[in-house]
Amino acid sequence: MKEQELIHAFELGTIDGAEFPHERHVRVARGLAQRYGRDDGLLRLIAGIRAMAARAGHPEAYHETITRAWYELIISATDVERAPELFDKQLLSRYYSAGRLAVGRDRWLEPDLYPLRLPPPSSSAAPVVSSACAGADATDFAAAAGRQLLRARKACRR
C-alpha cells in the first residue's frame, strides 16, 4: 500500500490493528503532520488510534504519552528514511523509564531520562533528565527501577 493510500485508509478507519505495525504508525504520523500541520496532525493521529483501539474492543489500549512522544520524535526528523532509529520499537526506553510510562497512559508526560530529540542517546548513555523534573514528584517516579530512580531524583535536585 502506498503512503497516501495508507494515510487515507487510516483516516477512513478501514485499517485494523493487525494491519498497522509500528512502521505504518511512523509513516502515518509523518504523513498527517505534513498534510495537516503539527497540531491538527497530532489530533488526527490520536483520533485514529483511539478509533482503531475501540474497533478492536480495547479502547484502554490507547496511551497518551507513548503516542505523543513518538509523534514528536517522528516530526522532528527531516526525513524518516534517514532516521532508522524511528523504526526501533524500543526507542522510547532511551527517553522514558518504565515507571514514567506506566503513569502516562491518560496524560502527557515529558520524558524523565533524556529530552525528546534526535539523534537519540545511545542505549548505554547515562540519563540526562529533562526539564520535566521540575514538576516530578515521588508518585511519578515510584514505579521506576533502581538506578534510574536514583539518577532521576539526583538530577532533579541540581
Portion of the chain with pLDDT greater than 70, in percent:
78
**Per-residue model confidence (pLDDT) at position 125:** 58
Residue 130 has pLDDT above 80, yes or no: no
Residue 67 has pLDDT above 60, yes or no: yes
| More reliable by pLDDT, 20 or 156 | 20
- For residues 52 and 20, is the Cβ–Cβ distance under 8 A? yes
pLDDT digits (tens, 9 = 90+) for 79-91: 999 999 999 999 9
Residue 142 has pLDDT above 60, yes or no: no
Instruction: Name the residue with cell 527501577.
Output: 145
The answer to which of 29-38, 108-117, 143-152 has the lowest mean pLDDT is 143-152
What region, left, alpha or beta, does residue 57 occupy, with left being phi > 0 and alpha being psi -120 to 50 degrees? Answer: left
Residue 76 has pLDDT above 60, yes or no: yes
* Among 110, 106, 114, 101, CA closest to 135: 110
